[in-house]
Amino acid sequence: MSGIYLHIPFCKQACSYCNFHFSTSLKLKEELLKAMHKELLSQKDYLQAEPVETIYFGGGTPSLLSADEINRITDLIFENYAVKELKEFTLEANPDDLNPAYLKSLRNTSVNRLSIGVQSFHENDLLYMHRAHNAQQADYAIKAAQDAGFTNLTIDLIYGTPGLTDAAWKHNLDKLNSLQIPHFSAYALTVEEGTALHHSISKKKTKPVDASQSASQFEMLMEYAATAGYEHYEISNFAKPGQYAVHNTNYWRGLPYLGIGPSAHSFNGHTRRWNISNNPLYIKNMFENIAVHEEEQLTPIQHLNEYIMTSLRTMWGCDLEKISKEWGDDYAGTIEKSSHKFQERYWLQQADKKLILTNTGKLFADKIAAEMFL
């Protein structure tokens, strides 16, 4: 199985914390979509006829595309890729785009799952993050999507924002639970260099992020999700039983995927490639038949380290038997030995030859993975 990711690099306005590739000018949108069509055709052998199980429109803000624009892209995919086993077609959307007319038009596409960038149901948080929507629109968009027949929904939430009290954070969680949303992603606010938020904090114009607040609210999140019947199946992702995100779960399982558009990444099991993060140059190179990506061949050790990093983030854990089978018993033994100190701290537990993070360990997931790398 494989997936196709399409990066739509346009937004109405820049969120203060975002370091993804995007442009707030839409004047190149038509040309860029034509270039993406061309890339889809030029890369149709990349997945080696592997059945496509998922399509994911990410960004940026894919909900800036019309239903016709979405259909033109998907028609091209259906004509050139093996999509008979397609299970999930996700469109990321901003709440302010999800009005009844747009939602009705999406029902005439193959989109069967919406990922709504709510981030918070509190006005102060949204202003701090410079989001394009307000709290009322966040609530309305979800209900409008449900009314339009979209039951497979996920929303994003952000915790750790200065001013987000524990009571306000609980209100966000209560809200999503009351709306009966089957899946959600929750991320700690991070301050990335080069973002407006980083600049504002460095100039002392904005309150900095408090790491202890983020950790405390993450612990609240884990406890709340368990009580509400959500499975914590990946560090930042929670789902009702059986409602896991297929596309992202396949990333963590190491399955191949093709990325289309500026800054998109691809992986075919042996090589990893990434497209240039420049809209005009991407367009120019595509139409002049110049490569728009760089590529690296993964060594067995690099591949193993990626498996350690991604598998530890999931509730299924790092499978020592899989490592023995694919990389050798010596590597599995080394990794198991390196896990002992984390098991002694009760950051990791071992069951059926699988290494799984405890709730405490989830606070240190990156550190644990890095220290277990070969």
Whether 16 and 158 have beta carbons less than 8 Å apart is answered as no
CATH 3.80.30.20 residue window(s) in the chain: 2-252
Whether 266 and 258 have beta carbons less than 8 Å apart is answered as yes
| Predicted pLDDT at 137 | 97
| Cα separation, 116 vs 94, whole angstroms | 6
Tens of pLDDT, residue by residue over 257-313, are 999 999 999 999 889 999 999 999 999 999 999 999 999 999 999 999 999 999 999
Instruction: Please list, in sequence order, all residues whose beta carbon lies within 8 angstroms of the beta carbon of residue 156, skipping any fewer than 6 positions away.
Output: 115, 116, 117, 118, 119, 184, 185, 186, 187
Three-class SS of residue 361? Answer: helix
| Cα separation, 244 vs 143, whole angstroms | 21
Tens of pLDDT, residue by residue over 325-358, are 999 999 999 999 999 999 999 999 999 999 999 9
| Cα separation, 271 vs 276, whole angstroms | 16
Which own/partner contact pairs does 218-224 have at CB distance under 8 Å and 24+ positions apart?
A: 218/159, 218/188, 218/362, 218/363, 219/359, 219/363, 220/166, 220/169, 220/170, 220/173, 221/159, 221/169, 221/173, 221/186, 222/359, 222/362, 224/170, 224/173
CATH 1.10.10.920 residue window(s) in the chain: 300-372
| Predicted pLDDT at 234 | 98
The helix (H) or strand (E) run that includes residue 308 is helix 300-312
68-85 burial by CB neighbour count: b if 16+ within 10 A, else e? ebbbebbebbbeebbbee
| Predicted pLDDT at 154 | 98
Q: What is the pLDDT along the chain (374 residues), one digit of tens a residue?
A: 999 999 999 999 999 999 999 999 999 999 999 999 999 999 999 999 899 999 999 999 999 999 999 999 999 999 999 999 999 999 999 999 999 999 999 999 999 999 999 999 999 999 999 999 999 999 999 999 999 999 999 999 999 999 999 999 999 999 999 999 999 999 999 999 999 999 999 999 998 999 999 999 999 999 999 999 999 999 999 999 999 999 999 999 999 999 999 999 999 988 999 999 999 999 999 999 999 999 999 999 999 999 999 999 999 999 999 999 999 999 999 999 999 999 999 999 999 999 999 999 999 999 999 999 99
| Predicted pLDDT at 105 | 98
- CA distances to 118, 129, 195 from 206, rounded to whole Å, are 22, 11, 13
Place of tokens 């979405």: 70
Pairing of strands 52-59, 88-93: parallel
pTM: 0.96
Q: Name which CATH class applies to 2-252.
A: alpha beta
CATH 1.10.10.920 fits 300-372, yes or no: yes
Cis peptide before 60 (omega within 30 of 0): yes
Dihedral of the alpha carbons of 339, 344, 345, 348, in degrees to the nearest 10: 40
Q: Which two tokens stand for residue 255?
A: 């399955």
User: How many residues are present in the chain?
Assistant: 374
Three-class SS of residue 24? Answer: coil
88-114 burial by CB neighbour count: b if 16+ within 10 A, else e? bbbbbbbbbbbeeeebeebeebbbbbb
| Cα separation, 165 vs 162, whole angstroms | 8
